[in-house]
A and B are shown apart, each in its own frame.
Chain A
Amino acid sequence: MSQPVAPVRHVLIEGNKTYHQISEDLCAPTERAPSREWILAFSVASAFTALYAFAVVWTIWKGIGEWGVNRTINWAWDITNFVWWIGIGHAGTLISAILLLFRQRWRTGVNRSAEAMTIFAVICAGQFPLIHMGRLWLAFFIFPFPNTRGPLWVNFNSPLLWDVFAISTYFSVSVLFWYTGLVPDLATVRDRAVGLRRKLYEIFSFGWTGSAKHWQRWESLSLVLAGLSTPLVLSVHTIVSFDFATSVIPGWHTTIFPPYFVAGAIFSGFAMVQTLTVITRKALKLEDYITINHIDSMNKVIVLTGTIVGVAYLTELFIAWYSGYIYEQFAFYNRVFGIYWWAYFAMMFCNVVSPQLFWSRRIRRSIWWTFFLSIVVNIGMWFERFVIIATTLARDYVPSAWSYYRPTWVEIAIFSGTIGLFFFLFMIFTRVAPVVAIAEVKAILKLSGDQYIGPKAHREVQPVTQQEVIAKYQDQN
């Protein structure tokens, strides 16, 4: 390989992989019969998905009154979950778009599953604005379309309407990006498959032949989509934060929300990617492709965004004090020391304190620490949204209306159900598509394979040309 590789680059593909081995390794999960563990885990996820469906039907049939929300706290777990899931989705877009533009090679190991995660998280998130409506069957009212109900139009002033646009755009661009990336890999799977399976993959890979023109177009489209998605990384959560920032409620009405929400979203998104990849690489034996170096890189993002979020929390408190505005001051005082003080401290501990452990290289490169802290961060980010929504509403302007919120079984079922739904979708995904982008990994093999760089690099086995690879492949068969 003629391309120069800096010696400081991390090895991103271990195990002295050949191109063929990469195809073998990465297609394997879609080709072998499901393991007993997979079936067991899938059954649990399906059960929770069923619980989700039941709780949603229950809500629609009986009414929102089945939830614990009340006349003062009109949003609680519903919107908390919505923002949480949307935030989780952000890592996928960030990895696929911004890291692509920044030429971060380590993204190839995790981008496929992160993008899939984005889509499934947005699917989970998108449920909540719908099911929290009092009259779901009239949800189509939120779309601006010519209608026969007089010239009745949506309210373009409402942040909820902006949400509709933001989330639907985000979802469609994410799906496009993800699927575009999948096409060459689906073709790889197709080429290895027979019978009906082959026919199906034939359809899903859009007749990909791997011609130079295909690759060229594919590269261009990826770049265009990356360009489109980049602003989305910032805009979606900014608009979600407008749900709160444009209101008149002290504790919501703050200009810091957009950057703070975006940082929080990336933070929680990476935490969720960590949770998933740590499990996936083990379960699907992808340790050679999702290496400790990948995990290390993502932990660095977590400690950065976690610190940004921490600064935002402290800034909020400072500005509340500095504003001299009693409502604002009380709102933040209440947030810290009020009835939901435990939620605030849970948030502070999980989001600000715990990621600081990642300053330690040893912890950053520990699978167990990473898994544990990624869960902690996800819990913390859920609490952040709960604190912002429920705590703020529980103590707003008029003290006679103050109230307290606790969830009912329906809300708990819906939330745990969306987690079930998320894993349900993700586990199907691991069975039908390569969870690591085969084509992209191959593209960086010579830049990041351990046989080329790093301490174990040994030139003698280095296949130099494509012909050699083919020859070697033919020899093996």
Chain B
Amino acid sequence: MQHQNNGIWVSAEDLNRDDAFLKSAEQEFSIEELADAPTGWRPSRRDFLKWMGFSVGAATVAASCEIPVRKVIPYVTKPDAIVPGVANYYASSFVNGSDYCAILVKTREGRPIKIEGNSLSSVTSGGTSARAQALVLSLYDTRRLKHPGTIEDGQVKKLSWKALDEKIKGQLQLGGNVRILTNTIISPTAKKVLDEFVAKYPNTRVVSYDPVSHAALLTANQVCFGVRGIPTYKFAEADVIVSFGADFLGTWVSPIEHARDYTSRRRIHSLDKPSMSRHYQVESHMSLTGSNADMRIQIRPSEMGAAICALYNEVARATGAPTLDGPTLNEKAQAALKKAATDLLALRGRSLVVCGTNNVMEHIIVNKINDLLGNINHTIDFSVLNNLHQGDERDLVRLIHEMNAGQVAMVIVWGANPAYELPNADEFKQAFSKVNTRVSFSTVMDETTTLCNYVAPTHHILESWGDAEPKTGHYSLIQPTIAPLFDTRQAELSLLEWADSPNLNRQAEQPYYEYLKAHWTTEMKAKQSKYATGMAFWDMSLHDGVFEVPPAPRTVEFNPNVRLNPAAVTQPGSGKVEIVFYETVNIGNGQYAHNPWLQEMPDPVTRTVWGNYLSIPVEWDGKNKMTGWMGLEDGDKVEVEINGRKQVCTVVRTFGQAPGTVAIALGGGREKGGCGVGYGVNVNPWLPIDGGFIQYFAKEVKISGKVGVEKNFACVQHHHTMGLAARDAEGKRINADEEVLAYQGALTDRSIIFQAHVNDLPNLRKKMADFHQHASHLNEQTLYPDRTDYFSIGPKWGMFIDLNACIGCGACQVACVSENNVPVVGKNEVARHHEMTWLRIDRYYYGDLENPRIVYQPLMCQHCDNAPCENVCPVNATNHSSEGINQMAYNRCIGTRYCANNCPYKVRRFNWLDYTTADTFPANEERLFRVEEGDIPFYADNLVRMVLNPDVTVRSRGVIEKCSFCIQRIQEGKLTAKREGRPLEDSDVRSACQTACPTGAIVFGNLNNPNSQVSQAIKRHEELAYQVLEEINTRPGVRYSAKIYNA
């Protein structure tokens, strides 16, 4: 072999051109060696492929652990109205006993997932409440009854509807007395159904009461004006408001409506000529309404009668009416009421006195005060009555008597839960057991249903047809937004069925729909003239959700024959300590205790969750210490004894709780029916009954010393004050915050809250101007580049929150939870400060230490343009958009929590545990709260998961989350505008908190658009607007206005 490479050799043999070498070199790629390989099996390409195929296959099989499969099934035939990924909104109504709200139900792929307000209603004007916002969750309650049946030992034994109907009809035909026990029914059609039923079975009587009674008010109006009804209170027209314990912003009569009207007079429309209403609140505990008042007048609950008489006397003296010899009132309150009377008398006809007690004479005297002030027919309008409270607990006395006497053959319980709600529940239960047939329409196995022998579960309201007349001439429709989830039947339909109604079209697919429509296309249509045909009228009404008839003006006269009897008002008690029972905005009298969203919404004032707590006064030692009454601390347990009944309650210290009084909310200690079981104590058995009326206070209460400490005392806010003044031992005014924190300027100098008296606006404006100057001086030293240009390309999102319009009701918070799939974490976790709410409503006491005011501050991610959180994330999981939004990439987050530490506002939330069951290991799924049957975690159930908003990622364990400014809504709005080829408008993008707010305190929008609502609002409030912690140069996208009061 001749070398091709000249003169290059590889070895001596090569150089010598050795034969053997040459031979082997020729056979460099010899196949003989392969041929010499062991005979038998020889690997081939095919074998290689076979073995590889087997290995990969085996590895795949071996490695494929079972992971949960959640199926997504496409529509076989797409329903007309549904475009996957696009939400549909249906107008409907939220009606539950005394609660009403005109709503729009947002549905996605046929699932209701969110409640919005219906702005067409003049009652609620698009506002909502926390209770309304939480409605969707109760639809997906796993403890809902799933079919009709008989109840044996507290368990439902399934029956078919037909079998049930036969049994009940059989009983009805025996002709015994039938009683239908309900809460207030405001549905005209349901009333018609009841009429039909009564017509068929004439021995029937409908007995209704309200979970929280307004019976005395109704009775007093009957006596004074000849109208058994609640008038419309025009808070928007009242310059002076005096409320005797009426929580009109939170729970009393029509809170959504009142909140809107009230705050319209609390905003600062003009800095130079501010006009604000002045609000006096006479009460013992710090109610939501009292917390917003300019002046709270603290009394013991048994002094309410005395306080009303005192105000009456002041007014009567000025107007020449005869004075009353009422009970004596403490001097401080007396003096304050004198001032209130002066204000009232100066503005006759433009003032309002309301009363929230349940004593007829007190209401009569208050009516008289309003009469003397000329408010009747002006700020108190009887032409439009409020129908939400029509019940009268005195009817129950008769019912119990009848039942005990064996005169009642059947009781049908519809909506009510007397075995829990009544003070004399034991008496009721005993009498109830003597009734032969006990039927319940309840949707869950509550305390009363357990005692029944038949249950005919009704639909959830989101599955129902119906209507409502919350106020005279204000009609509202209820339409189903989902097919019934379970084998339930609407209560109205059951009644019609049992009454063998001839008006019921049993062949129809939805018989009650036909029935309702028939009523609307005939009787309701006659109330209007706009639509000629019934069908057009029906379609439009259903589309709008509401139908309003202008009220006929009605004036009333105070009956001159009414005698004011000061002896009939509440007489001051002699007990050392008195107790107040009050209703909270979230739980009511236990009706909402089974809704985890509402349980986990902190009480606006005490900031506690999951249960009711005994509020005790805070005492000031005159030097530097605020201590709980009797030295008790938050979370201490005490034994409370009223009328010989003892219960252990957990204490929470509450500023503004009148000395010598304590208070506890209704609605705790539910025994049956859902996740609220076992949280708090049931205070209903403690409620005294006076003259047939349930009283929401007790004059004599014995409280033991500390008997223990509640480990899971769940309160989201440890610190309470933001500038309290107190008096020292010599009576000199001192700054209590300074003394307690022993450090000057500790809180009030922080740029978190600015507040001032309305007459002190010039000073405030100067103070704020100085502050802005100071802040900008500091901020000019920044090393950060100016990014104004960066944000000027597209929209720049921002928010404005008017603290004068925020009443602290919490609707926004629940709306946020609903919109953004914020997990529920349960009491234990909240007690450990692991709550997940993106939006919280901070509550600070300010003013006088012994009788403070409250400022509420909704605080969410401030979307800082110089966000401290963004710098410190090692993996860039949180960053800034050119639209000014601080964005969170959950998938990128590794959970170092540095961002949460570095957030000055502490609004970032970490998924400490697997709250949403987004992880695949069932072992991680936390049992958040006690469940009656089947121990499953809250979000693990497929039913509950239906409430999740598909547009928002469900976050897994170990990642940070926070307010996104409802980025999904922004995106949707931008796309809509783009698709329609027009600039973005305010109406395209509205955040969930904004739409939920009953008072319009939250405005959201594009700051780059000078005409947007938010730009306008900031401009209007320019001198009072500020950013929280402005001087640390975070440049937040949220602005607040200073809180102004008019004491």
Contact = CB atoms under 8 A, between A and B. Distances in A.
B745 interface: yes
Contacts of A369: none
A142 B874 CA distance: 6
Most chain A Cβ neighbours within 10 Å, of B741, B746, B892, B906: B906
Interface string B833-863: 1110000101110000000000001010000
Given A159-B872, A161-B874, A249-B901, A402 B718 contact: yes
A403 B833 contact: yes
A3 to B, nearest CB: 52
A461 interface: no
Nearest to B746: A330
A465 interface: no
Given A63-B924, A155-B875, A397-B1029, A70 B958 contact: no
Contact of B874 (A164, A246, A400): A164
A134 B924 contact: no
A249 B872 CA distance: 12
A70 B833 contact: yes
B900 interface: yes
Interface in A370-399: 393, 396-399
A101 interface: no
B896 A248 contact: no
A54 to B, nearest CB: 15
Given A64-B912, A133-B958, A402-B719, A154 B875 contact: yes
Given A71-B834, A247-B868, A398 B894 contact: no
Interface in A60-107: 61-66, 68-72, 74-75
B914 interface: yes
A356 interface: no
A70 B834 contact: yes
B753 to A, nearest CB: 10
A142 B893 CA distance: 10
Interface string A248-280: 110000000000000000000000000000000
B832 interface: yes
Most chain A Cβ neighbours within 10 Å, of B843, B901, B1032: B901
Contacts, number: 180
A246 B749 CA distance: 24
B711 to A, nearest CB: 12
Nearest to A149: B892
B876 A247 contact: no
Contacts of B871: 155, 157-158, 246
B896 A132 contact: yes
Interface in B403-433: none
A139 B906 contact: no
Contacts of A71: 833-835, 900, 906, 909-910
Interface in B809-838: 829, 832-835
Most chain A Cβ neighbours within 10 Å, of B834, B859, B871, B902: B902
A404 interface: yes
B873 A155 contact: yes
Interface in A115-167: 129, 132-136, 138-139, 141-142, 152-155, 157-161, 164
A161 B874 CA distance: 5
Contacts of A132: 896-897
Contacts of B910: 64, 71, 74, 134
Contacts of B1032: 248, 327, 397
Contact of B895 (A68, A70, A134): A134
A395 to B, nearest CB: 9
A329 interface: yes
Contact of A152 (B717, B834, B857, B876): B876
Given A134-B895, A138-B894, A247 B902 contact: yes
A397 B904 contact: yes
A224 to B, nearest CB: 31
A149 B859 CA distance: 34
B558 interface: no
Nearest to A394: B718
A333 interface: yes
A337 interface: yes
B923 interface: yes
Contacts of B902: 247-249
B425 to A, nearest CB: 38
Interface residues of A, number: 55
Contacts of B868: 247-248
A174 B909 CA distance: 38
Contacts of B745: 326, 329-330
B997 interface: no
A63 B958 contact: yes
B750 A74 contact: no
A396 B904 contact: yes
A134 B872 contact: no
B893 A400 contact: no
Contacts of B741: 330, 333
A72 B829 contact: no
A164 B749 CA distance: 39
B1029 A134 contact: no
Interface in B935-964: 957-960
Contacts of A246: 871-872
Contact of A160 (B750, B829, B874): B874
Contact of A62 (B746, B842, B894, B924): B924
A75 B749 contact: no
B387 interface: no
Given A74-B897, A393-B901, A62 B913 contact: yes
B901 A141 contact: no
B742 A337 contact: yes
Interface in B891-935: 892-898, 900-902, 904-906, 909-914, 921, 923-924, 926
A160 B872 contact: yes
Contacts of A64: 895, 897, 910, 912, 958
B876 A154 contact: yes
Contact of B743 (A158, A329, A396): A329
Contact of B904 (A63, A70, A248): A248
A132 B832 CA distance: 18
A399 B1029 CA distance: 12
Contact of A330 (B743, B840, B894): B743
Most chain B Cβ neighbours within 10 Å, of A62, A66, A243: A62
B752 interface: yes
Contacts of A41: none
B722 interface: yes
Nearest to B959: A134
B164 interface: no
B905 A70 contact: no
B1034 interface: yes
B957 A75 contact: no
B347 interface: no
Given A134-B910, A398-B842, A400-B844, A158 B900 contact: no
A153 B876 contact: yes
A401 interface: yes
Return the 8 tightest CB-CB contacts between A and B, nearest first. Answer: A134-B895, A134-B958, A65-B912, A401-B906, A65-B913, A70-B833, A400-B842, A74-B897
30 contacts: A61-B923, A61-B924, A63-B957, A71-B900, A71-B909, A72-B906, A74-B900, A141-B894, A142-B875, A152-B876, A155-B875, A155-B876, A157-B871, A158-B898, A160-B873, A160-B874, A247-B872, A247-B902, A248-B902, A327-B750, A329-B745, A333-B741, A397-B750, A397-B904, A398-B842, A398-B904, A399-B721, A399-B752, A400-B859, A402-B718
Interface of B: 717-719, 721-722, 741-743, 745-747, 749-750, 752, 829, 832-835, 840, 842-844, 857, 859, 868, 871-876, 892-898, 900-902, 904-906, 909-914, 921, 923-924, 926, 957-960, 1028-1029, 1032, 1034
Given A64-B897, A398-B859, 16 more contacts: A64-B912, A74-B900, A129-B896, A135-B957, A141-B874, A155-B874, A246-B871, A248-B1034, A327-B750, A397-B905, A399-B721, A400-B717, A400-B840, A401-B906, A402-B718, A402-B719
